[in-house]
Amino acid sequence: MKDSEILERIGRGDERVLDHLYKKYYRMMTKIVLSNNGTEDEAKDVYQEALLAFWQKAASGKLVLTSKISTYLYSICLNQWRKELDRKSRLSSETVDGEEHQTHDAKERLKIVMECIGELGDVCKNVLTHYYFDGMGMQEIAKKMNFANTDTAKTKKYKCKKKLDSLIKSKYTTEDFFD
Amino acid sequence: MTKLTQEQIDNYHSGRMNESEMADFENLLESDPAMKSESNLQSDIVSGLKEYRKNQLKSRLDAIDVGPTWMEFAQQSVLMKSMGGVIIASIIGTGIYLYGERMEVLSTAELATVEALEVESIEFVWDLGEEEAESNNSLEKPEQITDQASKKIAEAVPQIEEQSDVVNEEVTAIANNDSEKTEVFKPVFEAPDAESVEDDAEFSATDLDKLSESSDNAADEQPIDVQTELSKGNKIRYKYYDGKLFLNGDFDKAPYEILEINSARDRRIYVYHLGSYYKVDIADKLTELPKVTNPDVISELKLLRENK
């Protein structure tokens, strides 16, 4: 598969391309971490994060690729692992209490949001995640999800989002969120 | 709150604003506490949706088997060592098969390239028929094998060089490739060590350019790399990824044949063994080779096989 074809298929939200890429570059990318004091799990994490960052950019059409996909992925992995090594060395020298407290709150809120998303139906989940994570346009979403047309996708997205908002608002207490 | 601001908040958090719109929005937000808290809520929701999708895609990736890890490879080779002579004997047998293959490839490659002008064609076909009897004998007399094998190496190498001068680019590629393979498998004969078989080219090929180049060409000229392991029983098991095929089956009784059908878009690989055709798909775990049942495909393969 050529890089241009891969990008075009990602634009349509074709996840099989993700599988294909994942397999194809697994050894190459995990080696970056493995040969730089990383474990197999860390290597996998870094690679997955990098691949999903690439996917997200490519799916939303924001990616202007000036090199091969493999080169691009390689540089993301390399940067991510450098960052992680940096973070590790900082963690061992100092811990910031305030920061930790804040992330705890954020974690709690994220948990509530995730639970609410879990309560939605599959169609809503897919429409919303395709819109917000993959950054897909209404036209692509309509095609991918077999909606009659773009308007149906828009309506679905609007209704699903409203439902999710109200679910979350009902679970968020004022202290939880409205500071 | 008007619908417009709701939409603006949505666009802001879903990354659908340009830089100046974002700056305007952020300014506006500072002067409107109600809007700010709504925006914070939306920020949470969007982060949640992103996280949700990320987890979904990650578990999809986790379900993909990427092949044995380094540890598993090490364990496998230790296991093979401990099984001792029997395995080594069969590896030697396998090695002779592979040498036979290589020589066959060279002789059929020239012929196949002539036919390979149509979009869908056989790149090459190899047949182990002639080598079969020999390797059966050699399994019983291990000392002889080494002699035979080194003779074969001596014969094969000049043949490779000779041929690559004469034939066209495509065949040269195959020949070079084969001489590479010859090097990879050489240790099997010099020192029958199970570990050297495991030491496959895949791991050395992790260099950036080399890998991306070979994968770009995956659909065209590169022939697949085959490694075999003999086992009793009538099932053929296999692994196939990164252009490397491992076959595990009872090839003592009858040889196998590989049929590659290359077209502009994809490459299909089939194995012929004892009157049946099998389809090779990407598989990282040792899997039983599925038989082809579609009569159309079978007749197509028959045609290709008999016309080789």
Q: What percent of chain B has pLDDT over 90?
A: 14
Contacts of B41 in chain A (CB under 8 A): 165, 168-169, 172, 177
Query: What's the pLDDT tens digit per position in A30-70?
Result: 999 999 999 999 999 999 999 999 999 999 988 988 999 99
**Whose CA is closest to B235, among B208, B256, B258?**
B256
Contacts of B244 in chain A (CB under 8 A): none
Q: Is the ipTM of this complex over 0.90?
A: yes
B301 contacts: CB under 8 Å, gap ≥ 6: B259, B270, B272, B277, B292
Contact A110 B48 (CB under 8 A): yes
Contact A52 B41 (CB under 8 A): no
Contact B61 A22 (CB under 8 A): yes
Please report which confidence band the pLDDT of residue B65 belongs to, taking 50, 70 and 90 as the band edges: confident
What's the whole-model pTM score?
A: 0.52
Half-sphere exposure of B90 (CA within 13 A, CB side): 17
B52 and chain A: CB distance < 8 Å anywhere?
Answer: yes
Contacts of B61 in chain A (CB under 8 A): 18-19, 22, 48, 51
A131 and chain B: CB distance < 8 Å anywhere?
Answer: yes
Shortest Cα–Cα distance, A23 to chain B (Å): 6
Mean pLDDT for B73-77 is 58
Q: Residue B176: what pLDDT?
A: 46
Of A15, A110, A161, the CB nearest to B60: A15
For residues B17 and B11, give the distance between their C-alpha atoms in angstroms, rounded to a whole number.
6
Question: Which whole-number Å values give the CA distances from A57 to A20, A62, B21, B62, in the listed order?
Answer: 17, 5, 20, 21
Q: Residue B301: what pLDDT?
A: 84
* Size of the A and B interface in Cβ pairs below 8 Å: 110
B68 and chain A: CB distance < 8 Å anywhere?
Answer: no
- Give the SS3 label for residue B17: coil
Query: What's the pLDDT tens digit per position in A108-150?
Result: 899 999 999 999 999 999 999 999 999 999 999 999 999 999 9
Shortest Cα–Cα distance, B174 to chain A (Å): 21
Of B13, B37, B64, the CB nearest to A19: B64
